[in-house]
Every structure is written in C-alpha cells, then in structure tokens.
Structure 1
Amino acid sequence: MKHSFIIPAVIFNLINMISLQVLADEDYYFSSFGQKGLSSINLDVFKSEESILSSHHSLDVYINEAYVGRHFVYLYKGSNNNIIPCLKNEHIDMPWIKVKKWVKSNNDCVDIGKSIEGSTIKLDFSMLEVYVTIPDIFIDKNYN
C-alpha cells in the first residue's frame, strides 16, 4: 500500500504549513542580518519577557543554493527587534563549513550570522525554506 505512507506525510506537512502561516503577517516587517526577508513575521508573537519563540520549525535548509536537508530552526528576537533564525547545536552537522567556533545565542542556538562573517539568512515561510549564503572562503571544497 503505497498510499498509506503518503497520506500521513501530506497531513503532517499541511499541519506544519498551517502553523507557520499563523506566524506570517503581511503588516509587519521582518529582517535578518540587515536584509529584508522573503516573508514577514508578526513580532507580537513574542511575549515581552521572552526572546525566543516557544517552538521550533522544521524547514528545508539551503546553503549557497545547495539543499542540505530539513532542520529544526528556532527564531529569536535580536537586539533591533528583528527575527534571527538559529539552529540547535545538535542540528549543525556540516563539517564542510570551515568555522573555528559556532557562536551561540539565546536558548543555546547557533547564530550562523555571528559564527560566519559575511553570511546571510533569508526565510521563506510560504515554502518552508531557509536560505543561507556563506562566503566561499568558509566552504571546504575538498571535503568528501
């Protein structure tokens, strides 16, 4: 029965999509590392005393346009009230990225923007994707 697996997967993806769409709100501006994002997020979802959203989101992650898999992405509020995506340390398994030390931010998340100089992150909530751009100098092209 091929369809028995497909239906639960479709339902799971729809639930994920709906929960992420609840966060999206066209009236608010979202930025990450100084760049306008592909979608906007309502900053009201943050309680005044909290600096991180209460849950993580499973999103497809692309680094320099190459798909690296689906990872749990956390979102926290930066010092300028911008939304910054981060990954938990256990979800960073990318030995081909040359980084001396992953810089952790709120809630023990790895902040890629602070860890890799010149990197950028864009979130596309409508497609459930995160796009990371890392300067070539930090990519080990010989890693196999």
Structure 2
Amino acid sequence: MIALLQRVSEASVRVEGAVVGQIGAGLLVLLCAEKGDTEAVADRLLGKLLKLRIFSDAAGKMNLSVQDVGGGLLVVSQFTLAADVAGGNRPSFTQAAAPEDGRRLYAYFVAQAQKVHPVVQTGRFAADMKVSLINDGPVTIPMRRSA
C-alpha cells in the first residue's frame, strides 16, 4: 500500500457538490492499494501513520503523533499513487490493485482506523472527488508498506 500523508489545518472532500468527509486539524491520507497487498499490510501502514511524530510539540519540534494531538483522519482512495511514469508520457497503473481488491482494502483500512481513532472521515471510493485542504507546514510524507 501507498499512502501520502498531508498534515492539515482542515480538509474536506466533495462528491457532486456535497461534502462527504471533513476534518479540522489532522492528516489527509491519500491511500492506494497495490497488487499483492493484504490486510496485514494495511494494519502495519495504519499503525505506523497513527504513531508518526509529525506534529509540533510546545517547543516547535515535530515530536507528536496525530493520536497525541487528537487530530482527525480524512482517508481518500487514490489509485493514481501507483502511477509508473518511467515508460513514456502516459502513466501506467498496472501496479494498482484491481478495483474490487482496492475497494476491499480501502474499506478494511477505514474500518480498522475507526476502531482505534476517534475521528475518521472518508472520501467515496471510485468517485470523482474534489479534495480541499489547508496544508499545515507544509508537511507531506510519502509512505509505502510492502508485505
């Protein structure tokens, strides 16, 4: 799985003009399942991102996690994170999980996040989404977890 984390002051997702997910301060998590990913991979990725110390403490150092600061998670599916642009000008998405696997792993990741974190919002899988955010920092962290 691939995740792109963005520390945000606020973020929201709209589908057909309606807000379907919204958080205040926290993490916008753009999430992509790749071929061969499993629930165990999703669990490891979630565990790592919840503990990642990328929020500032009282001294201004990145020393606190999203859990420490009580921030929200906005989890948005984004298969384009699996893009391979090495072979020309048109991206290849052959490493992205098949849509049914991607949907299953995205739903699993969100369900697991909701079990352990108090504020979890989502986009809508495979929808044309409009994502708005105020990037805090900016802090943007790419994460990749393989089996």
Same fold at TM > 0.5: no
Task: Tell me the TM-score normalised to structure 1 length.
Answer: 0.23
From the CA coordinates, give the structure whose radius of gyration is larger: 1
Q: Which structure is higher in strand share?
A: 2
Q: TM-score, normalised by structure 2?
A: 0.22
